[in-house]
Amino acid sequence: MARDQLEYADSELATYQNGEVQKIFNDAIQSVLTGQSTVDEAFNDAQSKAEEVLAPFQE
């Protein structure tokens, strides 16, 4: 069965500082689900944080 799914498989998101970037976005999702922030607030904040983490790799 797993072999049949390979046709639809895709690679996982991979970035520099992948663990930190994924945590930023997971925290954003959690804040929306718990009502601590709106979708726009959470993801604008997450985008800013991710850009800050990745800034050294943008040169």
State pLDDT tens for residues 1-58: 677 777 877 776 677 888 999 999 999 999 999 999 999 999 999 999 999 999 988 7
Q: State if pTM tops 0.75.
A: no
- Are the CB atoms for 48 and 25 separated by under 8 Å? no
> What would the two tokens of residue 15 be?
């970035």
Sketch the domain layout of the chain as residue ranges.
15-57
The per-type count for the chain, helices as H runs and strands as E runs, is 3, 0
Residue 19 burial by CB count (10 A; 0-12/13-18/19+): exposed, middle or buried? exposed
CA dist., res. 27 & res. 15, Å (int): 17
